Chain A
Amino acid sequence: MKTPTDAEIEAIVAEAIAAEASCAHAEAQPPSSAIVWWRAQMRARQEAAQFAEKPITIVHALSIAAGAGLMLSLVGYAVAGVKGLSAWATALWQSTAAAMTALPATLSGGWFPMMATAMLISALVVSIAAYVIFADE
């Protein structure tokens, strides 16, 4: 079989593609230029509006981020506070327990009975004085 020359190959290809191009030209049903122009206008306006609103969106995003950050810091502060409170309550409980444990020894010590007697006498004196004062009236 004879091998086609370059010129023959070019002729075959050119003819085939030219026929295909004319077929594609007949098949083509592009939208009207008015519609394409109108759609382009609408899209350009929409993009311009989005571009103009971008700074507002950025400010919104920043404010939301700042609010979220503030909320998070408050939550963190509250959590730290609760932790501190629980530690304080634990310490209070431990010191109370230690004091209760040491109470018998304290009661048997020298200064507690004296102090208790002094308080009892004071209460008695105050009661008598109050009676004397209000009885006269």
Chain B
Amino acid sequence: MADVTYLDARRLHVDALDAETADVALAMDEDAFRGFYDRTSRALWGYLSRISGDRQVADDLLQECYYRLLKSSVPFESEAHRRNYLYRIATNLVHDSRRGARPLFVEGIDVAEVAAPRGTADAEQRTDVRRAMGRLKPRERALLWLAYAQGSSHAEIAGVLGVKTGSIKLLLFRARRKLAALLQP
């Protein structure tokens, strides 16, 4: 019988581990994931960048959101259920990234605003919207974005933000008024 060195045994162990974990680690198969990612990644990036106020944070958190979704053992009933779960992960990650980090909005001016194109009326209007959103609370930004950019229902927003469905109407009302006041010249 041939001698088996420690390195051989170690290599065999790692190979066996790779073979064992290659198929069971992630909950979705590749095709399903890639389709879901292609349908949702741009919108999710927009949500992350506008809620955090930082494009770099959005870039960093995007991969993490999908990884946590893939590692989750939640039995999704539909694509909408999966998407809402993804947005819930994103909301929690943005919330966590704010702890101990530098302020994402400084005096209402965010990183995205600095890089925005200037010189046109549209660009100036977008800058105003970003500045106004930067003055909202993170939860208010998320509420408005989910309602008007994503078109989510009150129940879906409540699921993403972890609040009662019955309180969404009032929270949205207040956030709308606040943003409108900030947008007025």
Contacts and interface: CB of A to CB of B under 8 A. Distances in A.
Interface stretch (A17-25, A64-72, A127-135): A17-25
A30 B41 CA distance: 7
Contact of A33 (B20, B34, B126, B129): B34
Contacts, number: 113
Contact of A16 (B46, B70, B179): B179
Given A37-B34, A40-B70, A14 B25 contact: no
A49 B25 contact: no
Nearest to B13: A52
Nearest to A49: B17
Contacts of B180: 4, 9, 12-13
B50 interface: yes
Interface string A107-129: 00000000000000000000000
Contacts of A29: 45
A24 B18 contact: no
A13 B143 CA distance: 12
13 contacts: A6-B173, A9-B180, A10-B176, A16-B125, A16-B132, A20-B126, A20-B129, A21-B46, A24-B46, A31-B62, A37-B30, A40-B66, A49-B18
Interface of B: 14, 17-18, 20-22, 25-26, 30, 33-34, 37-38, 41-46, 49-50, 55, 62-63, 66-67, 70-71, 112, 122, 125-126, 129-130, 132-133, 144-145, 148-149, 173, 176-177, 179-180, 183
